[in-house]
Structure 1
């Protein structure tokens, strides 16, 4: 199956007082990567999944190694680990080659903001996410 990679810059402000990337910054990295990934769903019409509405149901992050500030971006590799009719789980590996700094997982649900309630994935959304579906989990 396919995976998507996003190369995320590390900002000076991402560091904590100990000189390592703060744990909260990792959530921002994952968000940037996820938006880049999902925008590929409908690049000519904007992002269908976010345009029609979605919410984050939960995050899990396992920190493996310290990440320090540097000028080179860090790679965030993504794939889908679970796909249901009303949720999608995206797994991540924050890494440089074989060096993994964190593994993570985000579960999202499509949401109808006009009606104020969850909705089901559309057929187009399901087809998009199926291309990245793997039976492995990054967090465990």
Structure 2
């Protein structure tokens, strides 16, 4: 899929994610909570692409520890899938940050929302965070780009954020 979306790094992976009729709100726009589903689905596809088909890092333990979204414009229903770009915006010891841009279907390069999700690698057996391994770091480096700066970051005088720890 096209990665020529505004402010999306060339290293990003872009996935077509279906917007369902039931995702719309009373105003015929995609409901804000449904954007989290779009990000989640793109993340699942990205992990398979980035970490390999023979490995399931979700089953091994990856937990979402924070999510933030800027809703930029209302997105309406389209029969063609929305495009969700995802990339790594920073890596720390046990965690990493993903950046997202949610755009319309092919031909509509409008970015309707931007998001940021922080995940932590987690040892399910020991029930505690674990450090990211060399293979995971290498895979994330291949899809790295600038961290997403959201409105709330600018409001507190932050500018670009650093990676999560």
TM-score normalised by the chain length of structure 2: 0.79
Q: C-alpha distance in 2, partners of 1:117/1:93? A: 30
The number of equivalent residue pairs is 138
Q: C-alpha distance in 2, partners of 1:115/1:33? A: 28
Give the match for residue 78 of structure 2.
Answer: 70
Q: How does 1:44-123 map to 2 (within 5 A)?
A: 45-47=54-56, 49-96=57-104, 97-123=108-134
- For the residue of structure 2 that corresponds to 1:39, the secondary structure is helix
Unaligned 5+ segments in structure 2 are 1-9, 152-165
Q: C-alpha distance in 1, partners of 2:115/2:80? A: 21
Give the match for residue 13 of structure 2.
Answer: 4
Q: C-alpha distance in 1, partners of 2:89/2:19? A: 26
1:126 to 137, 147, 152: 137
Q: Is the 8 A contact 1:79 1:133 kept in 2?
A: yes
- Structure 1 residue runs of 4+, over 4 Å off? none
Give the match for residue 21 of structure 1.
Answer: 30
- For the residue of structure 2 that corresponds to 1:6, the secondary structure is strand
- For the residue of structure 1 that corresponds to 2:46, the secondary structure is helix
C-alpha displacement of 1:98: 3.2
> Which is richer in strand?
1
The RMSD of aligned alpha carbons is 1.3
Unaligned 5+ segments in structure 1 are none
